[in-house]
Structure 1
Amino acid sequence: MPYTVPAARAAAGAPTRLREEIQSRLEALADTHRVPGAQLVLDTGTETLSLYTGTADTATGVPFTADTAVALGSLTKPYTAALVLLLADDGDLDLDEPVAAHLPELSGLPGVTVRHLLSHTGGLPTGPDSDAASTTNGSRYLAALCTAEQALFPPGTDFSYSNAGYVAAGRLVETITGMPWHEAVRTLLLDSLGTRPAFIGDTAAARPTAAGHAVNTATGQVRPVRQYLAPLEAPAGALLGSAADLAALGSALVGRSQVLPPAVAKEMRRGESGARPGALADGWGLGVALFRQGERVWCGHDGNAQGTSCHLRADAESGMVVAFTGNAGGATGLWRDLTRELERVAGIRVPATARPATDRGRPVALPECLGTYRNGGVAYRVAAGPDGSPVLSIDGDLSLPLVCYPDLTFDLLDPATGRPEPGGRFHRDPAGGRVERVQVSGRTARRVDDC
């Protein structure tokens, strides 16, 4: 049964034995998933449990602390969205006006609104990788990408996770405030949250920071990895922060602080029509993912940079906020296992992923889905494998077997374990005929060719 607020407070009040047990599980799971260091914060608004373990950088041996900042990856996006909502609350823009009213570089997509950007429902492609983005500026980047020819679907009708949308949101902030995004997010949001700013690319860190890590497949050793992001992509993924910093944002999102006016926090948490994120979450608001758990709807976001994995969940009904950071790719698995342990030892149920799909019937071949699909410069090819079952490749790499179902959803088989993981879904055209799109892990691609 779902946890009750008194039970959650008992956990956050942290009797010594419970605190020690959660700390022990955090340390054991970090070791199991080969994550050098991690942080966990449980906050009810009246009491807070803050735990951390391990090493911030295996090259130097510097230990993790509660203040160590970790590259948040896409968890930067809720901060950028909050900036835009604050500007809207001040009357500087309208969420339902075309973005092109402020950014001429989006004139090729006149139907895309500010709301569409923040909810990933504008049909914008994902965008080029950081290396390609480093050779241009934000205006040229958006003008080349945001065209009718590259649009994935009509605005407001579907969902496709897009860094480009948040590059545009950051440009919007800069255009209206006259400040660079880094300065705007610091002065308008981070200072109020009590978060000391740190960003990927800083030449001199103003606070302790963690390196990202990956496992060297040849030696089996965990080693630091270089973290890089093109400057124009900063509003989509450049922020560093601790679990305590994420918890401060979570408190604002559920209306427990004055940093976000109640109307702004509520607007961010409200599910947007057309936002069907598939495997990413159960719904999407303005800058935050939505996760259903029984009658509750948690908001939050996940973020992965090079060699880090960070997660935020907040429940407006109870006020519970849970934040986690880890400085290795394996921290995603650590987070999922940790949420199960929190339920086991403390009675706190935290949704780590979208709800499991209900019974979808027996797997089917779906030969009508075979073909090539494209999102910007990324090609997704679904072809028949040696045994006739569909196989997905992305830009010619990997070959992931698909398990397809009559409702056009599919699972991906993990190549390491063979276990099915929620993968996405196919879409027919509005008349219910030909399959015209595929969504893979929240990113939609438009069909361009048959197999």
Structure 2
Amino acid sequence: MIRTLLAAALSIAAPIPLQAQSLSAREQVQIDALVAKTLADTGVPSASIAVVRGGRIVLAKAYGKQSEAAKPADAAAPYQIASISKQFTAAALLLLEDDGKLSLDDTVARYLPGITGGDRITLRQLLSHTSGLRDYWPQDFSFKAMATPVTPQGIVDRWAKAPLDFQPGQQWQYSNTGYVVAGMIAEKVSGQPLMQLLQTRIFAPLGIRALDQDEAVGPGFPQGYGRFALGPVHAETPAASGWLYAAGQLSMSAQDLARWDIARLNRTLLAPDDWSAQETPVRLADGSTNGYGLGVSTGTQNGRRFVEHSGEAVGFLSENIVFPDDKAAIVVLTNSWFSDATSRIAGGLQAIVLPPPTASAEDQAALPRARRLYDQLRSGTLDRTLLTEDANFYFTPRAQADYRTSLAALGEPTAFVQTGRTRLRGGFVNRTFRVTYPNRTLSVSTYAEPDGAQRFEQFLVAPVQ
């Protein structure tokens, strides 16, 4: 029930916060074209998206066929958000901790008996997928038992009482089972059903319409779709009731999920330290981490911080990415669980609505140096003082001739820009550049000295496939 998405290629340094501005007409046209082309290319029936910019929702729109009923796509329709629900379950436990009713460092056995390793597994480990409890739904299809209704206790009895996959805190392994246990603990401590707790403490205060996904099926709701290999797209049969409890039980619109993202950006509803706790990567016993906190993944992609989670339910894929420094967020919900449409749309939206980060002074200075050497190589006028001893060894007469002949034939580049992040390797500064021509694109991989001379140790040109 998780499909990790990292942001599409962004620029290279710290971003400038966005102003609270609406989308331009050009941006709206680009977004409409992006979604329409993606749905057409992939066969995915529909997508519902929301964009937060400058801390407010500037777009909420649905596209395509949400069900077999003949009516326009509705941006208010609640899609199944699946594992994106986990951050809400985690937030419920954080709120109960604030109430003094539990501690995330309590063991599971304090609240629920009979769980394998329950005397050693903490609530924090449940929420960070480090408990060792066996995942009950690792498949990307609806397995046989899912045709029959289940209770949380039924899931616990079959999977949470099996031998642990590893000792608590020793590894990271996605476990929907851990979230079922967490939801049961939340209900026991609060004395309320989990959905009622979430409604009272989170959804009602934020004006969010959220449903249990078991109730968001049938006429009036988006239909999930699937396909076998490259066969025709068909409507999926939903799982029987109970299978996504606490681990992925919510349905809501993209706009409603964006309201939660705004609360995260503004540090409202939850206490600021609760937001921080959710976004703090949990470390394993050996000190390592993959960036997962309590129901969310965190990290930095090319200098831009993100908080992210994706989701997969029967016939649905979803993506939710928050960019704290930009006061921005992107939500993409689709009613299929095949193809890369969700990630393609999310990546495309980032490229359209997020500002390109400002390059560092060092990167700004490096760009014209790289362009100068590139132009020398394509014209056959190489200045060897720009190269280290090793680079001079590499650029033999044959290498120079091949560079000149092949690059000169392409004419004048239309663009020469740095891509990806700057990094150190082997004592040199590594940068990659993209060279664009009308009919093809090249990549330039460079290593340069870190001192004032900035001579090139490497300058390799290759086609981009």
Q: Which residue pairs with 1:145 in the alignment?
A: 159
Distance 1:51 1:222 in 2: 26
Aligned counterpart, 1:250: 261
Could you tell me which residue of structure 1 aligns to residue 248 of structure 2? 237
> Does the CA-based 8 Å contact 1:159-1:275 persist in structure 2?
no
Aligned to 1:55: 64
Distance of aligned partners of 1:36 and 1:289 in 2 relative to their CA distance in 1, 3 Å threshold: same
Residue identity over aligned pairs, in percent, reads 25
Give 1:429's aligned residue: none
Corresponding residue of 1:159 = 172
Q: 1:27 aligned to 31, 36, 40, which one? A: 36
Determine if the alignment matches structure 1 residue 215 to structure 2 residue 227: yes
- Counterpart amino acid of 2:191? G
**C-alpha deviation, 1:51, in angstroms:** 4.2
Matches within 5 A, 1:179-198: 179-198=192-211
In structure 2, list runs of 5 or more residues that go unmatched.
1-10, 358-465
The C-alpha deviation readout for 1:3-53, integer Å capped at 9, x for no partner, is: 87667448x521112112212211111211112111222213444332434
Say whether the 8 Å CA contact 2:17–2:54 is kept in structure 1. no
Deviation (angstroms), 1:201: 2.1
2: distance between equivalents of 1:166 and 1:305?
15
In structure 1, the residue matched to 2:278 is: 268
CA shift in 2, pair 1:305/1:232, >3 Å: closer
- Give 2:259's aligned amino acid: A
Instruction: Return the TM-score normalized by structure 2.
Output: 0.66
Cross-structure match for 1:126: 135
Alpha-carbon separation, structure 1, partners of 2:189 and 2:344? 43
**SS of residue in 1 equivalent to 2:211:** coil
Partner of 2:420: none
Across the aligned residues of Structure 1 and Structure 2, the Cα RMSD in angstroms comes to 3.0
How many residue pairs were aligned? 341
Match of 2:292 among 284, 298, 307: 284
Q: Note if 1:15 corresponds to 2:29.
A: no
CA separation in 2, counterparts of 1:46 and 1:251?
Answer: 6
Aligned match of 1:85: 94
Q: Determine the structure 1 residue equivalent to 2:81.
A: 72
How far did residue 329 of structure 1 move?
1.9
Contact preservation (8 Å) 2:318, 2:333 = yes
Name the one with the larger strand percent: 1
- Whole-Å separation in 1 of the counterparts to 2:285 and 2:60: 34
Letter aligned with residue 264 of structure 1: D
1:306 maps to which residue? 314
CA gap of 1:349–1:167, structure 2 versus 1, over 3 A, is: farther
Q: Which structure carries more relative contact order (alpha carbon 8 Å, separation 6+)?
A: 2
For structure 1, the residue ranges without an aligned partner over 5 or more in a row are 351-451
**For 2:349 and 2:244, how far apart are their aligned partners in 1?**
35
Deviations 1:289-336 (CA, angstroms, capped at 9, x unpaired): 123213443112100111111111112233221111111124x61232
**94-103 vs 105-114, which deviates more?**
105-114
1:61 Cα deviation (Å)?
Answer: 2.2
Cα contact 2:152–2:245 (8 A) shared by 1: no
Question: How far, CA to CA, are the matches of 1:284 and 1:32 in structure 2?
Answer: 32
Matching residue's letter, 2:85: T
Query: Is residue 8–residue 346 contact of structure 1 (8 Å, CA) maintained in 2?
Result: no
TM-score with structure 1 length normalisation?
0.68
Give the Cα separation in 2 of the matches to 1:324 and 1:3: 25
What is the match of residue 444 of structure 1?
A: none
SS of the residue 2:97 aligns to: helix
Question: Shift in Å at residue 82 of structure 1?
Answer: 0.9
Aligned to 1:401: none
- Partner Cα separation in structure 2 for residue 217 and residue 152 of structure 1: 31
CA contact (8 A) 2:57 2:258 kept: no
Question: What code does the residue aligned with 2:153 have?
Answer: S
CA displacement 1:57-115 (0-9 Å, x = unmatched): 34212322221110111111111111111111221100001011011132643100000
